[in-house]
Each structure stands twice: as C-alpha cells, then as structure tokens.
Amino acid sequence: MSSVNTTSASPRAQALQAALNFPNVQVDRPISNTAPISDFFGSMTFGLAHMREKLPKDAYQSLLKTLEQGKKLPKETAEAIASAVKEWSVAKGVTHFCHWFQPMTGLTAEKHDAFITIQTSYHSELRVIERFTGSQLIQGEPDASSFPSGGMRSTFEARGYTTWDPSSPLFIIEDEAGKTLCVPTVFFGYHGQALDCKTPLLRSLESLNSEACDFLKLLGDVDVKRINATLGAEQEYFLIDRNFVALRPDLIMTGRTLLGGSSPRGQQLEDHYFGSIPTRVKKYMQEVEYELFKLGIPAKTRHNEVAPSQFELAPIFEDVNISADHNTLSMEVLKRIALKHNFVCLLHEKPFAGINGSGKHNNWSLSNDKGENLLEPGTTPHQNLRFLAVLSVVLKAVYENSAVLRASIASPGNDHRLGANEAPPAIISVFLGSMLEKICNEIEEGKSAQATDQQIIDLGVGKIPNISKDYTDRNRTSPFAFTGNKFEFRAVGSSSIVSIPMTILNSAVAFAFREASEKLRNLLKNKASRDEAVMELTRTYLKESKQVRFDGNGYSAEWREEAKRRGLPVLNSTAEALEVYKDEKATAFLSKTHVLSAEEIMSRYHISVERYVKTIDIEIETLLEMTQTLVIPAVEKQLNVLSTTQQHISSTSLKKHHQSRSHKLELVFDSILALHEDLTKLNDTVRNGHDETIKMQRLASEVQPLSVKLREACDQAEKLVADEFWPLPKYREMLFTNSLS
Ligand code: ADP
Ligand code: MG
C-alpha cells in the first residue's frame, strides 16, 4: 500500500504522516562520544570552583565573605570577577552577556548586551575591544515599566534594577544562534520593592536560616552555623509532535486542548507509567540531559508518567535557591530541545481532559552546615529528638498557614488538576505514614511525658532510624507528604515558578521556628532538663497541628466534609484561594519574617488576579473562534452529506435510521450554536466589567462552566462527524503516535 498522498490529503492527515516520518536527530555527547558525564558536567557554568581557580586569592576570599556573611561586594572584587568571567566566556565563544531574572510574569527575562566597547586610539581610530566591567556584572537597569509591578509602580519611580545574586553560578546559554553569558540576578524597584520571584525567596532563606539556627542552638546544637532549605523538583511534562500542535490553535494559544473528545484508550490500561521509553523520546531526553549537565544541573531520573506521552524529569536535590534557578532553566531547555526533535513540550497542568495532568513535586527539607538532613531520623537519641522537634515545627507551620500555601500554588492551569482524580485536592493536609503517625499519637498521649533519652527509645522513637524511605507508605492523594526524610509538596503545578511556593513554605517555617524558640526558652526556665522541655514543646505542637494530619483518601467526597469540620481551609479554585492574600492576619507571617511587605503581598495579589483574567479570556476567545471557524464548518459539511444521502434512500427502514442519525447531529449542532451565542454574550458582559476581582470571580463561576458545556457539545460532534471532515488532530493521534516511533 502506498503512503498517504500528501498533496490531496487533509492538513490533519498530512500532520499524521509527518509525525510518523519524524526527523532522525543526531544526538552527540559533549566533548566526545565516550566522555563520561563528569568530564563535561558544569562546563558551561562559572561557579565557586572556577572562581577559586581563576581569581586572585584576596578577591576570592572577599567573595566568600559576601556569600557567608552577606557583606557588600567590594568594587575591586567585582572588577576581578568580571574580568575572569569575561576571559572564560570569550574563550568559549561567548559574544553577549545578559542579566537573567525572574519578573512576576511567570517566565524569565533577559536583555542582551554585546561584550564590546569602543576605544579611540591616539590617532582617533576607532577600535572595538571585548570588555565586561564589575559594574556591568553587578548591576543592570532594565526598563521596569514593561514588567508587572502589581500597582507598586504608582508609588515609586518606574525604575527597576537587577543585581547579581552571587550565590547562584553564572552560566552560558548556547543554541544555534550563538552563546550568551547569563548573570542570575534579583530584580527590584527604586525603593527596594521586590519586583521578581527570587528576591522574596532569598529573603525567606535568610529568615529561615536565622530562626532555625536560634532554635537549634536552644536544642543543644550550639555550634550550628547555617541552615539551608533543600529542594528536588520533579518535573512532569507532555511531548506532542509539532505537526499536530501546529494545527491546534488551542495548544498554541493556551498550552492546553480546549476541545477534543477522549480517545477510547486513555490511561486505563496503566501501561505507560515506567513503561519502556520510545526511542524518539529517549533521544530527546538524552539531549535535554546533556544540555542540563553542561549547565551543572544534576538531572538524575527520567521515566514515563501515568498518561500517554507524559514524562518526568527529576534532578538530585540542591539548595533551594540554586534548585529553583535550575528548575526554571530546565523548563526552558525542555521546551527548546523539544523543537529540535520536532516535538512541543507542554508544561501546562492539564493539556488533555480525561487523563492525568502534570505536577511538579517539590521535595523539600532542611540541612545544617555539616550536611545533616534535619528531617532524617537520626542514629542517636539527640538526633531523634531534633528530628521530632523540627517535624512538629514544620507541621505547625503548614497547619497555621495552609491557606496561604494553597494560594501560592493557585493558577488557572492548576485549577484543572487539583482535586481531579489524579492530583491532591485543593485542601492542604499532611500525610506522615502510619509508623510516624503512631509515634506522634503516642507523644501526644503523653506516653513520654517525662521522657529521657532512655524513655524515648522505649517509646519506639529510637527505632526511627530503621524507617528506611522504602518502608514509609505512600499516599498519592496527599498534597504534602512526608517521604522518609523530606516533605513532598505535591500540589505544585508543572508550569509554576517554584520560588513562589518555596518562599511561602520557608517563610511559614521560619516564623514557626521563631515562635517555637520563644516557647522553648520559657519551658527551659521551668523544666528540669532540656530534653524534657523539647518533648513538651513537641507534644504541644503536635497536638495543636493535629487537624492538618490526614492519612485517608484525599480524593473522597467525605474528606471535603471532614476537612470543613476540622476547620481546614477548603479553597476550591484560584478565585477563592487568591482572596487569602487580602487577609492581613493570614499573611502576617510574611511581613513579620521580612519576606514580603504588605505592599508586596498586595502587588502579587493584583498580578495573580490579572493573570487569571487574561488567561481565561484568551482561552474563551480561542474556544469561541475554534468553534466558529473549525467545528461549525465541519458539522455543516457532515449535515450536507447526510442530506444528499437522504435523497438517495428509498428503503423506508433505512430512511428511518438515517433520519435518526441526522437528527442526532442536528441536536448537537443546535446546542453548539446556542451555547456559542450564550458564551459570546456572557463573556462580553463580564469583560466589560471594571473590577478585576469581580471579573475573576465571574469568569470562574459563570463563564468557565458555560465554556465546559460548549466543549462537551463540540466533543460530541467530533464523534459524529466523518473523520475526513474533522480538522483538529484527535487525542488518539496526538497522544499515541509516540508509541509508534
Ligand atoms: P522518592 O522515591 O521519595 O520520590 P527519590 O529519592 O526518588 O525519592 O527523590 C525524589 C526527589 O527528592 C529527588 O529529586 C531527590 O533529589 C529529592 N530529595 C531527596 N532527598 C532530599 C532532601 N533531603 N531535600 C530535598 N529533596 C530531596
Ligand atoms: Mg516523588
């Protein structure tokens, strides 16, 4: 049989053919085809190791001081670093540099400058030389008025500044267009207002460090110098052939399918998760990983996810600040390399209805300057006591601030995912696993009221070191689960900037540490021993936060009711969740830890509302246009064929059956036209409103539900219209063609 005749075939048939004839992309290992990863890992980054090697000794020492003590970087040091960085980059063929930052757009931003300056010689000859100065390294001044400030701009000058974050390595971004040196920076306004996602994250880490150190000193870790938060962000994504995406205005405009009937086969056979990876996809992953390795990103695990054409990339954990930069970079690399392999990488939380969406599990823990994990049950009674105390502080933090944590992961995309039968519900609860739950219950019951080291062992706490991660049970329905030696914040959406939920979590925990230190100081005054005082505090905190612990089925309807009875915030949608930012009491921990001022919190509220409104608006407009220009004409073609056929039928019985077939399609067509008209009207009314908050609420409560109805009608039509008339690539084609490669 010959292949499809691509000249007369429909665009959709051509796309299918092209997807099957995908290009054979050559993937070469960096350096040589036998080079081990360690030979090129980090080759495109300029971090501390390079600085030590390339900088004069005193400049390096002064940089360390800045990093360790937050001292201002002296001008000479900046010059020395800039000059070393320039030499290193130019030798690698870099021509431009940019300040790389994370404005509140949900994306990263960069403005490129060439490494050149003009020198005028003695004879007035112009000469171009490569130059990169200390001040170019340290500070930039992009036009802040083009980035969202959430209303903060009216109260200050429109100026914005980017300043180098020396704790994150410089890196080179390389593609076919050339090489650019990227300087990771924070972005802030004239009066120091944070205009980005990194500044608050750095502040939260500072606050966490100082509050946690205080607490640990009281606990007996007198020599503790630094506490870091660690993060390993597991990233889920879909890979769809570019030829299909090109024919889907919804995927191009919104990153998700606004239409599309589910295919007979979805994920019910449960055969995709951890299944063997198609070679075409493996080549893509391989190239992504090479790129990540060169950028010093420790990509570790790759596998198929639950839904067809869904995959996951998981790195080894790092300090939160670095890991957050690395996750953002990874998302960019995933998208860029996909195009080279003729794929589009979809990072949206719910690109396809009816099958799993994508999340980004944020594995989070705390470690001290000795590299000990504070959430790892230890081998000595003291380490166990510390583990339990820190655990109870984190539980308290999550319990008291669960509404703001919920708001930090709110987005229109995540609304489709949370609470569907795949992702945790929109109620923040914590799962500890049965063994730890039992230990916590025993502590609460006072079984260790007078606990000494010995009694703690009697209680079973001393056996905690035997809880290997492999023995802790899993609960996939929990948004915040303890997994042996870390918490996994599973409710975070796949497209989100992790700095935002991490900032809120760090800050909540920092505040809880502060309160815990106060309480512990008082207890220490009255109690006989430190261990007793610590146990008392732990017991109180476990009791006070008990309502947030839940080990049942988070998907169940009963949990919703139960959560309400427990007084936990049940915030079903973004529209509900964002309102929390207006509640000064709920957000007080953010200003008290100096992570976000009241003004900065409100600016984030305004930006989130605006983004919500714009996102839904784009989705509705796209849906209306697709219905009008793609779906309706396809149905009309089919009706035309039906009516012609009708004229040629003489058998009465056939006529009857055929009429009922036409009738079915006519009914669907009628709903499509009616719903299209209703949705157009409603959307216009809502759009013309002036209050953004009301707009958001109406979009969520009126416009969205109506759009779902229109979608359903269109999806019914898809099942009744001839395959050759249907212009949009179908779910089965987009999701299952990879398995043919
Ligand atoms: P699991 O089987 O629980 O998913 P893995 O060992 O596969 O655990 O780790 C999942 C993710 O958690 C990885 O990205 C890993 O680097 C990260 N992780 C492990 N330990 C920590 C930690 N102490 N802090 C933060 N993230 C961690
Ligand atoms: Mg996991």
CA 200 to chain centre: 16
User: Is the CB of 363 within 6 Å of ligand 1?
Assistant: yes
CATH 3.10.20.70 segments of the chain: 37-192
- Please give the pLDDT value at position 190: 81
- Annotate 204-272 with DSSP letters as a single string: HHHHHHHHHHHHHHHHT-TT---EEEEEEEEEEEEEEEHHHHHT-HHHHHHSS-SS-PPPS-SSTT--S
Question: What is the position in ligand 1's atom list of the atom closest to the CA of 314?
Answer: 14
DSSP state of 276: P
User: Is the CB of 373 within 6 Å of ligand 1?
Assistant: yes
Which pLDDT band holds residue 47 (cuts at 50, 70, 90)? confident
Question: What is the position in ligand 1's atom list of the atom closest to the CA of 485?
Answer: 23
Confidence check: pLDDT of 459 > 70: no
* Ligand index nearest the alpha carbon of residue 363: 1
Ion ligand 2: residues, CB < 5 A: 361
- Please give the pLDDT value at position 681: 98
- Annotate 532-561 with DSSP letters as a single string: HHHHHHHHHHHHHTGGGB--S-TTSHHHHH
Whole-angstrom Cα distance, residue 655 to residue 735? 38
User: Is the CB of 362 within 6 Å of ligand 1?
Assistant: no
The Å distance, Cα 234 to ligand 2 centre, comes to 7
User: Is the CB of 315 within 6 Å of ligand 1?
Assistant: yes
The Å distance, Cα 66 to ligand 2 centre, comes to 35
The Å distance, Cα 665 to ligand 2 centre, comes to 45
Which pLDDT band holds residue 111 (cuts at 50, 70, 90)? confident
CB 133 within 8 A of CB 79: yes
Which pLDDT band holds residue 153 (cuts at 50, 70, 90)? low
User: Is the CB of 234 within 6 Å of ligand 1?
Assistant: yes
Whole-angstrom Cα distance, residue 575 to residue 276? 40
Q: What number is the average pLDDT over the span 179-196?
A: 90
Q: Per CATH, the architecture of 612-740 is what?
A: Up-down Bundle (1.20)
DSSP state of 701: I
CB 405 within 8 A of CB 508: yes
Mean pLDDT check: name the lowest of 210-224, 354-368, 520-534. Answer: 520-534
* Strand 487-489 versus strand 139-140 pairing type: unpaired
Q: What does the pLDDT look like over 254-267, one tens digit per residue?
A: 999 999 998 877 77
| Tokens encoding 119 | 């020198």
User: Is the CB of 361 within 6 Å of ligand 1?
Assistant: no
- Please give the pLDDT value at position 448: 53
Q: What does the pLDDT look like over 475-484, one tens digit per residue?
A: 778 999 999 8
For residue 493, give the 3-state DSSP assignment: strand
CA 334 to chain centre: 13
Question: What is the position in ligand 1's atom list of the atom closest to the CA of 367?
Answer: 23
Q: Which H or E run includes 120?
A: strand 116-120
Confidence check: pLDDT of 458 > 90: no
Mean pLDDT check: name the lowest of 134-138, 493-497, 536-540. Answer: 134-138
Mean pLDDT check: name the lowest of 172-176, 591-595, 624-628. Answer: 172-176
Confidence check: pLDDT of 135 > 70: yes
Confidence check: pLDDT of 233 > 60: yes
DSSP state of 152: G
Q: What does the pLDDT look like over 576-589, one tens digit per residue?
A: 999 999 999 999 99
User: Is the CB of 486 within 6 Å of ligand 1?
Assistant: yes
Whole-angstrom Cα distance, residue 310 to residue 527? 55
Confidence check: pLDDT of 573 > 60: yes
Q: What does the pLDDT look like over 372-392, one tens digit per residue?
A: 999 998 777 788 889 999 999
Question: What is the position in ligand 1's atom list of the atom closest to the CA of 483?
Answer: 3
- Please give the pLDDT value at position 258: 98
Confidence check: pLDDT of 9 > 70: yes
Q: Ligand 1 pocket check: which of 486, 502, 506 to mutate, most ligand atoms within 8 Å of Cβ?
A: 486
Whole-angstrom Cα distance, residue 111 to residue 634? 45
The residue written with tokens 């009429």 in the block is 659
- In this structure, the residue with its CA closest to atom 19 of ligand 1 is 317
- Please give the pLDDT value at position 424: 84
Q: What number is the average pLDDT over the span 686-693?
A: 93
CA 740 to chain centre: 30
Phi/psi class of residue 317: alpha, beta or left (left: φ > 0; alpha: ψ in -120 to 50)?
A: beta
Amino acid at 324: A
- Please give the pLDDT value at position 7: 60
The CA-to-CA distance between both ends of the chain, in Å, stands at 20
Which pLDDT band holds residue 49 (cuts at 50, 70, 90)? confident
Q: Can you count the helices (H) and strands (E) in the chain?
A: 27, 18
Q: What number is the average pLDDT over the span 228-240?
A: 97
Q: What number is the average pLDDT over the span 598-622?
A: 96
As a whole number of Å, the CA-based R_g of the chain is 29
| Tokens encoding 599 | 């003004």
pTM of this structure? 0.93
The Å distance, Cα 303 to ligand 1 centre, comes to 15
Whole-angstrom Cα distance, residue 398 to residue 204? 15
User: Is the CB of 364 within 6 Å of ligand 1?
Assistant: yes
Q: What number is the average pLDDT over the span 570-575?
A: 94
* Of 48, 402, 70, 73, nearest in space to 207 by CA: 70
Residue with more model confidence, 582 or 302? 582
CB 240 within 8 A of CB 250: no
∠ CA 214-215-218, rounded to 5°:
90
Confidence check: pLDDT of 555 > 90: no
The Å distance, Cα 470 to ligand 2 centre, comes to 12
The Å distance, Cα 9 to ligand 1 centre, comes to 49
| Tokens encoding 56 | 């004069």
| Mean pLDDT rounded to a whole number for the chain | 90
Q: What number is the average pLDDT over the span 106-123?
A: 79
Whole-angstrom Cα distance, residue 503 to residue 484? 23
Which pLDDT band holds residue 274 (cuts at 50, 70, 90)? low
Whole-angstrom Cα distance, residue 492 to residue 37? 30
User: Is the CB of 321 within 6 Å of ligand 1?
Assistant: no
The Å distance, Cα 191 to ligand 2 centre, comes to 41
The 3-state DSSP composition of the chain as helix, strand, coil percent (nearest 5) reads 55, 15, 30
Whole-angstrom Cα distance, residue 10 to residue 243? 13
CB 387 within 8 A of CB 321: no
- Annotate 155-187 with DSSP letters as a single string: GS-S-EEEEE-TTS-EEEEEETTEEEEEEEEEE
Percent residues over pLDDT 90 in the chain: 70
Domain 37-192 grouped into CATH 3.10.20.70: yes
- Beta-carbon contacts of 312 under 8 Å, excluding residues fewer than 6 positions away, are 234, 235, 236, 237, 301, 302, 303, 304, 305
Q: Ligand 1 pocket check: which of 301, 317, 364, 488 to mutate, most ligand atoms within 8 Å of Cβ?
A: 317
Q: What does the pLDDT look like over 619-670, one tens digit per residue?
A: 999 999 999 999 999 999 999 999 999 999 999 999 999 999 999 999 999 9
Q: What number is the average pLDDT over the span 559-577?
A: 95
- In this structure, the residue with its CA closest to atom 11 of ligand 1 is 232
CB 449 within 8 A of CB 456: no
Confidence check: pLDDT of 46 > 80: yes
Q: What number is the average pLDDT over the span 164-185?
A: 91
Task: Tally Cβ neighbours within 10 Å of residue 342.
Answer: 17
Q: What number is the average pLDDT over the span 398-404?
A: 98
- Please give the pLDDT value at position 494: 97
User: Is the CB of 232 within 6 Å of ligand 1?
Assistant: yes
CATH 1.20.120.1560 segments of the chain: 612-740
Q: What number is the average pLDDT over the span 689-698?
A: 95
CB 267 within 8 A of CB 308: yes
Mean pLDDT check: name the lowest of 147-161, 411-425, 449-463, 673-687. Answer: 449-463
User: Is the CB of 316 within 6 Å of ligand 1?
Assistant: yes
The residue written with tokens 């005082």 in the block is 533
The Å distance, Cα 236 to ligand 2 centre, comes to 11
Percent residues over pLDDT 70 in the chain: 94
- Please give the pLDDT value at position 568: 96
